[in-house]
Amino acid sequence: MSDKGKIFLGLIVFIVAVTYPMWGGVFAKTPAPDVQLPDGKCIESRDYMVANHMNMLDEWRDKFVREGEEIYIASDGTEHAISLTKTCMKSGCHDNKTEFCDKCHTYADVDPYCWDCHVAPDQVAPKGGN
Amino acid sequence: MSFMPSFLISLAAVAVLFGIGYGGAAAGAGAVIGIYVPYAALLVFLGGLVWKVADWANSPVPFRIPTTSGQQKSLDWIRRDPIDSPFTKGEVVLRMALEVLFFRSLLKNTKTQLHHGKPAYATDLWLWLAAIIFHYSMLVVLLRHLRLFLAETPFFVTAIERADGFMQVGVPVFYATSIGILLGLLWLLSRRILNPLVRYISLPNDYFPLLLLLGIAGSGFCLRYIDKTDIVAVKELTVGLASFSPAADAIANINPLFFGHLFLVAILFAYFPFSKLMHLAGVFLSPTRNLANNSRAERHINPWNPKVKMHTYDEYEDDFRDLMKEVGLPVEKE
């Protein structure tokens, strides 16, 4: 009937919308993040940390701030001070927020609110200046 | 088919399909489930949908058949109902918008009860609420998934994430729609099972889509909040899929649960055009909703009416005037 044109138009709009993920990124290609891991061993396994670091930090915050606990005992028995900037981000480990944290967070569109309170070591004004 | 077999067949189907995705990936077939199956499912989805809609577009709708529940336009001094009996195009658009965006017909006669031995119809507000919560949660969840398909997340997706996570509870931030989609689906499923009138008319093709969506929403919930995976590896795979350059090497870092989730989504896409889920397109193409009730003002002629050869009385009389006069029949023209 006379509505075929309208139906066809609706179909085109629908297909364009559904395939948005396929054409929406054509002009802006960001490569997957290439994160440089420091030497040595993290406090838990790589796979565990990749998937669950946010929960560990969340628990650490509650333990430290609310319960006053200062030591985390890892699954292999080693003890670590509960501190984002002094344990995780100490010199020689993940000391560069831009090169470590932000790479994946930006890629995966994650916006953690750690930095509402914390200051990353690499973003502190160098000593000696004002 | 009665309740138990219908429900169990659907449940078993979803469980087996999830197992194929999960077990397949665990057994090393991640590339098949993560790359080939999604492409095939998308092709079936788009092809099937176009075919179905084309079929509907080719079905003739010669006359105006809107279902009305209000006074139609007649005399100026009779108050009319522009939404329940639309007369102009604008009123039809308004009626359709209320239907598509707010599920207006779910607010009418969705509950049947006996009152003093007679059936009475009323509004099942919970049904409407569950449907609204489920559908809008689903929309938000779908839009949020764009962050996994576009290398640079568009601003509106980030805005949606902010709004959805406004409670700022937990890490990763808990989304209101994560629980909304599950609660909506669970309500729709329990209504089907607990209400004997609805249970009586429910078939596997009613239970299966609900259970499939529950499986998808449930596995997605687990992936985000409980049994997490390497999201960067997932995004490498999904961006690769969207840009037609699949990243097969990312698969090894991904939790098999993700492939269970992905396989159910692929099944949903492939099943979609052949199921009741096509109400997605059908809601726009319902002749009982999208036509103006203007039959008394405009004449709608069936376009394939055969051409009738007319022979009027005047012509008849011209043919037989002399014979009619002979036998004394009255004639119009002498």
Average pLDDT of span B32-48: 95
Q: Do B247 and A32 touch (CB under 8 A)?
A: yes
Predicted pLDDT at B206: 95
Q: Is residue B305 part of a domain?
A: yes
Is residue A93 domain-resident?
yes
* Average of per-residue pLDDT across B113-133: 92
Residues of B with CB under 8 A from a CB of A: 46, 49-50, 53, 56-58, 60-62, 146-154, 157-158, 161, 168, 170-172, 228-232, 235-236, 239, 242-244, 247, 250, 253, 255, 281, 284-285, 303
Domain assignment present for residue B212? The answer is yes
pLDDT of residue B110: 85
Q: Which of A3, A15, A107, A111 to mutate to test the interface with B (most CBs of B within 10 A)?
A: A107
**Is residue B333, in this structure, part of any structural domain at all?**
no
When divided into structural domains, chain A yields a total of: 1
Q: Quick one: pLDDT at residue A127?
A: 56
Residue among A10, A51, A104 minimizing CB distance to B229: A51
By three-state DSSP, how is residue B161 classified? helix
Residue span of the structural domain in which A55 resides: 42-109
Mean pLDDT throughout A15-32?
82
Q: Assess whether pLDDT exceeds 50 at residue B325.
A: yes
**Tally of structural domains, chain B:** 1
Is residue A66 in a domain? yes
Query: Nearest CA to CA, how far is A84 from chain B (Å)?
Result: 15
B146, B152, B231 ranked by CB distance to A28: nearest = B152
Domain span at B260 = 3-326
**In 3D, which of B263, B200, B257 has the Cα closest to residue B229?**
B257
Percent of chain B with pLDDT over 70: 100
Quick: pLDDT tens for B174-221: 999 999 999 999 999 999 999 998 999 999 999 999 999 999 999 999
B295: domain CATH number is 1.20.950.20
- Average pLDDT of the residues in B55-63: 90
Which of A109, A116, A117 to mutate against chain B (most B CBs within 10 Å)?
A: A109
State the greatest distance between any 2 C-alpha atoms of chain A, in Å, as a whole number: 80
Contact B65, B287 (CB under 8 A): yes
Cβ proximity of A32 and B310 under 8 Å: no
Query: Before B172, cis peptide (omega within 30)?
Result: yes
A3 falls within a domain: no
Considering the domain boundaries, does residue B334 fall inside one?
no
Rounded to the nearest integer, the mean pLDDT of chain A is 85
User: Closest Cα partner for B64 from A7, A10, A3?
Assistant: A3
Which pLDDT belongs to residue A129? 43
The per-residue pLDDT for range B216-230, each reduced to its tens digit, is 999 999 999 999 888
**Structure-token pair, residue A2:** 């006379």
Higher pLDDT, A32 or B284: B284
| Residue-wise pLDDT tens digits, A85-130 | 888 988 888 888 888 888 889 888 888 888 888 888 777 755 554 4
B170 part of a folded domain: yes
Residue A118 in domain: no
Task: Please give the average per-residue pLDDT across B266-276, as a whole number.
Answer: 97
In this predicted structure, the answer to whether residue B321 has a pLDDT above a threshold of 80 is: yes
Please state the ipTM of this predicted complex: 0.85
- C-alpha closest to that of B237 among B223, B252, B215: B252
**Domain assignment of residue B168, yes or no:** yes
**φ, ψ of residue B115 in degrees (nearest 5):** -120, 115
Query: Among residues 68-97 of chain A, which lie with CB inside 8 Å of chain B?
Result: none
Q: Looking at the domain assignment, is residue B38 inside a domain?
A: yes
Secondary structure class of B153 (helix, strand, coil): coil
B332 in a structural domain: no
Residue A5's identity, in one-letter code, is: G
DSSP per-residue codes, B256-323: HHHHHHHHHHHHHHHHGGGSGGGHHHHTTS-TTTSS---TTTS----TTPPPPPP--HHHHHHHHHHH
